[in-house]
Amino acid sequence: MRYFSTRDKGLKVSFEQAVKQGLAPNRGLFMPEEYIKLDTEFWANLFDMSLPEIGYHVGKGYVGDEIPDEDFKKLCNEVLNFDIPLVRVKDQVYSLELFHGPTCAFKDVGARFMARCLGYFSSRKNEKTVILVATSGDTGSAVANGFLNVPGVDVIILYPSGKVSEIQEKQLTTNGGNITALEVNGVFDDCQALVKTAFSKFDTKGKFSLTSANSINIARLIPQSFYYYYAVKQLKSFESVICVPSGNFGNITGGILALKSGLKVNHFVAATNANDTVPQYLQTGVYKPKPSVQTISNAMDVGDPSNFERLDEIFSHNSKNFASVISSYSFSDEETKKKMKMVYSEYGYTLDPHGAVGMLGIEKYLKENASGCPGVFLETAHPAKFLDVVEQAVGVTPDLPENLKKCLGKEKVSIKIENDYKELEKILSERYL
C-alpha cells in the first residue's frame, strides 16, 4: 500500500515513510492510496474471529509486506491484548467499551500500534528513535505507555509542573524503562514550545532520529478501524448504526475506512459537545473552523478537527456525500450530565462524559429515523478518569480500574527543568550524542 498526501496527490510514500514522517510536506495528511480489500473468507469468518485476528487481517492490507507476516501477527497480539467488549445498556443500544487498555482511554489502541510499527522499523535498521511529546495530560500517558519497553525507541515527555491531575501525573511519571518524564516549570504551551525548538534546532549529528507521536500519524488512525469490525462481530449483525463521540474525528475516520473496505454498517453518527463545527458544516455545506470552547467532555474540545481534511477527501469535498454516510449532532454539557444521571439510575450503567455524548447521539438518530436496527456508541474513556464530573453528575464515585490503581501506588520519578531550551538540549546531548 502507498500513501498519498491530501495536499499533493502526486506525492506517494511507503507505509514506513508515512509512519516516520507523520505529517506530509506542506502540512498534508497521509491517506491510503486505495481502500483495502478483504476476501470472502474474511467476511465468512468474521463472527468467529478474535480481536488480534481481525487486527492482523485488516492491518495487513495497510502494512503490506513492509512488516513480515510473522512479525506483524506478533505485533497485533501485543497491541490488542486487552478486550474491547460490547455491553448492552438498554434495548437496542450497546456500548463498545474502548477503555480497558493500560491508560483506560481509547487512544491506547492507536498509540500502541504506532509505537510497535515505529519500533519495528527502527530496530531492523539498528536506529535509535527518540520521541519528544508535550502533554497537558492524557495523550502523553497513552503515548508513553504505548512505547514502554519498545526496543530502539525512547520517549521523553514534557508536562507542566502542577498543571495535571494526580492520576495523570502518576501515569506520566511511573513508567520507568525507556520513558523519561520532564517536569517543566511552566504551562503546557511552554512544553510545546520547547519540543518545537528541539525539532528545529537540535543537531542529532545523524546519531538518532528525533520524532513526534502526533495524533494525525496514519499509524494511529489505521488501528482505530479494527474495533468497528469487532463491534459488528460481537453484535453478530450486518445491520447497525454506530455513533462516535468526536473531537479531532480520527476515531470516526477509522470507522469510515472500515466501511469503505466493505464492513456492513447502515449509518454513522458523529456526536460532538458544544464544539459543533462539523454539525454546522453538514447543515450549511460550509466548513467554518472556530476557536474551541471548554466543556466537561474536554478530550473533544476541538474547533478545527484535524481529520476533517481526511473525511473531506474521502467524500470528494462534497457535504451531501458526507451527510449520506455520517449524521452529526451537538450536545450541551447540561444534556450530557442529565444523560449520565438518567442512564445510571435507570440502567445502572456509568457513562463517562464522552460516552454520554455518544449515547445521546445514537438515541437521537434511532428516534428520528426509526430504523429498527441496533445502535452502538463508543465509550472512549473509563468514568474514573473523569471522577469530578461523574461524581457531580451521577452522585457516585466510580471504582478505580486495576491499571489506574497500580500506577497510583508507584513512586513518581521526574526530572525537573526550567522553561529553558538549554536544559532540554543538555539532556538530549548527554544521553544520545
CB burial string 267-294: b at 16+ within 10 A, e below:
bbbbbbbbbbbbbbbbeeeebeeeebee
What is the total count of residues that contact ligand PLP (CB under 6 A)? 15
The one among 247, 255, 383, 398 contacting ligand PLP by CB under 6 A: 247
CB burial string 135-165: b at 16+ within 10 A, e below:
bbbbbbbbbbbbbbebebbbbbbbbbbeebe
Catalytic residue among 20, 60, 107, 339: 107
The one among 261, 327, 380, 419 contacting ligand PLP by CB under 6 A: 380
- What single letter denotes the amino acid at residue 339? K
Among 135, 104, 172, 110, residue whose Cα is nearest residue 380 = 104
Task: Decide: is 268 part of the binding site for ligand PLP (CB under 6 A).
Answer: no
Task: Decide: is 275 part of the binding site for ligand PLP (CB under 6 A).
Answer: no
Place of cell 513508567: 175
The one among 225, 240, 246, 350 contacting ligand PLP by CB under 6 A: 246
Toward ligand PLP, which CB reaches closer, 107 or 267? 107
Task: Decide: is 217 part of the binding site for ligand PLP (CB under 6 A).
Answer: no
Give the whole-angstrom CA distance, residue 333 versus residue 393: 10
Place of cell 449520565: 340
CB distance 148 to 178 below 8 Å: yes
Give the whole-angstrom CA distance, residue 173 versus residue 157: 9
Toward ligand PLP, which CB reaches closer, 220 or 233? 220
Decide if 107 is catalytic: yes
Toward ligand PLP, which CB reaches closer, 79 or 424? 79
E strand map for 23-168: 30-32, 86-90, 93-97, 129-134, 153-160
Give the whole-angstrom CA distance, residue 247 versus residue 278: 10
Toward ligand PLP, which CB reaches closer, 232 or 389? 389
Task: Decide: is 29 part of the binding site for ligand PLP (CB under 6 A).
Answer: no
Among 100, 128, 124, residue whose Cα is nearest residue 112 = 100
Minimum distance, C-beta of residue 200 to ligand PLP, in the bound complex (Å): 26
Minimum distance, C-beta of residue 252 to ligand PLP, in the bound complex (Å): 6
Task: Decide: is 354 part of the binding site for ligand PLP (CB under 6 A).
Answer: yes
Give the whole-angstrom CA distance, residue 363 versus residue 232: 18
Task: Decide: is 104 part of the binding site for ligand PLP (CB under 6 A).
Answer: no
Minimum distance, C-beta of residue 250 to ligand PLP, in the bound complex (Å): 3
Cα 341 to its chain centre, rounded Å, is 26
Toward ligand PLP, which CB reaches closer, 80 or 351? 351
Helix, strand, coil proportions of the chain in percent (round to 5)?
Answer: 50, 15, 35
Residues within window 111-170 making contact with ligand PLP, judged by CB under 6 A: 138
Toward ligand PLP, which CB reaches closer, 202 or 308? 308
Minimum distance, C-beta of residue 249 to ligand PLP, in the bound complex (Å): 5
Toward ligand PLP, which CB reaches closer, 122 or 380? 380
Task: Decide: is 250 part of the binding site for ligand PLP (CB under 6 A).
Answer: yes
Minimum distance, C-beta of residue 279 to ligand PLP, in the bound complex (Å): 13
The one among 92, 248, 369, 414 contacting ligand PLP by CB under 6 A: 248
Minimum distance, C-beta of residue 404 to ligand PLP, in the bound complex (Å): 14
Toward ligand PLP, which CB reaches closer, 28 or 353? 353
Minimum distance, C-beta of residue 42 to ligand PLP, in the bound complex (Å): 25
Task: Decide: is 245 part of the binding site for ligand PLP (CB under 6 A).
Answer: yes
Give the whole-angstrom CA distance, residue 210 versus residue 132: 7
CB distance 312 to 286 below 8 Å: no
Task: Decide: is 107 part of the binding site for ligand PLP (CB under 6 A).
Answer: yes
Residues within window 291-310 making contact with ligand PLP, judged by CB under 6 A: 299-300
DSSP codes joined into one string, 30-69 = EEESS-----HHHHHHGGG--HHHHHHHHHHHHHGGGS-H
- Residues near ligand PLP (CB under 6 A): 105, 107, 138, 245-251, 299-300, 354, 380-381
Question: Which positions are annotated as active-site residues?
Answer: 107
